[in-house]
Amino acid sequence: MTAEDFLSGQVLLIDKPLHWTSFQVVNKLRWEIRQAFNIKKIKVGHAGTLDPLATGLLVVCAGKKTKEINIYQGQIKEYTGTIILGSTTPSFDLETEINNTFPIDHISEELIYKTTQQFIGEIQQFPPVFSAIKKDGKRLYEFARAGEDVEIKPRTVSISEFEITNIMGQNVDFRVVCSKGTYIRSLANDFGKALNSGSHLSALRRTKIGDFSVENAISIDGFIDSLKG
């Protein structure tokens, strides 16, 4: 690939590693492209944030393709992951420590499968307070980390598939197909409430965005090697 290829526009499918922010991935790719082709300036952006504790498909647009970011952001997404039953965290995932524990003796496999049906279709969902959504010019996680209470309004999201793929003790593996704006962490938290217990997300991987699949994505190192090729 040449400098002109990137400037005229490229859509890059990156398999985001654990602990990286989506912003860090974009910065790294932009820097590597500029270094490889001696480009002073190039636009690079991603089409939908992944949390640092999530892995998987990050659609990154470079050059003139950044104008299409909104198109990709609005497409249907697929995730796989694991929910841990019986405990909650303030962030709804492993970013924060467990703050409450709940009984799970009443939860059968049949109840787990049956409860997924409550979340199919259009649902009202409260985003996690530990999220990058802005309110009054600040991101929600800034309020949360400062210990400040903040009112969060629910949003309408759509879930077309919520499939349980494995149950091993308190660990429930799942696959979800959902609309833009769906927080899987909130789904995990709400799922625990629906089971008259509590739960939080312990793993998350984005596998699809529209027609793009993580199977066709490359690692950051793989992308850097391709620039040298």
**Enzyme catalytic residues:** 51
Contacts of 208 (CB under 8 A, 6+ apart): 57, 76, 77, 78, 177, 214
CA 73 remoteness from chain centre: 12
Contact in structure between 205 and 81 (CB atoms under 8 Å): yes
Return the structure tokens found at 3. 């400098």
Residue that the structure tokens 């952001």 belong to: 73
Question: What are 58's strand-pairing partners?
Answer: 14
Expressed in angstroms, the distance from the first to the final Cα of the chain is: 9
Alpha carbons 141 and 129: distance in angstroms, whole number: 6
Contact in structure between 175 and 75 (CB atoms under 8 Å): no
